[in-house]
Structure 1
């Protein structure tokens, strides 16, 4: 069954399955790459000691994110960014409406779309 979960303040699609009475959660590779990219951006805002190059693997980032969220008592949030360019009003309205439907900010939606396109291009 397809399902969307919130990991560390980031909504991601996953597959839920039940085998032998056990619930399993599987996150497709492309969504794992998106989570990895998201964590590399967000963790630097929450970790005052800084993230070193050795900490940039997915496992270490997930452990750090869990630790941070336990200390926060809530989900991390991606910092709000002021976009360095202007959008046509009709495009901006569509972007905001699409983001609202997905319960994310317009900036997060743009980042998600750019990451998706980047992965598509890099895989070809």
Structure 2
């Protein structure tokens, strides 16, 4: 296991701020604002989770590479597998920050779906 020597703004704070911001912005781009389907909201949230995990993986790789630990360039396939799981684990650890934010966004999207459904029922369109 690699030991990360310090926690600072550039290697911890900034990536978490970026991931938190993406957790708020990406669902707005992926989910149709006028949808009346919770399935569409779920699919949009699922795409957002995959995207955030990928961005977290990429950030982990870049931060590790800039610190001089060329984890994915070590050579043999067992080391590549270990590096892959290390960066995936670090990406999942970042979910401690963005997952609650994404849950609140999901809740807001679900409320919007229910509000639009209620408006349709009140207008007699159902």
Task: Please give the range of the TM-score, normalised by the shorter of the 2 chains.
Answer: under 0.3
Q: Which has the higher contact order (CA 8 A, sep 6+)?
A: 2
TM-score of the superposed pair, with normalisation by structure 1: 0.25
Bigger-Rg structure (1/2): 2
TM-score of the superposed pair, with normalisation by structure 2: 0.25
Structure richer in strand, relative to its length:
1
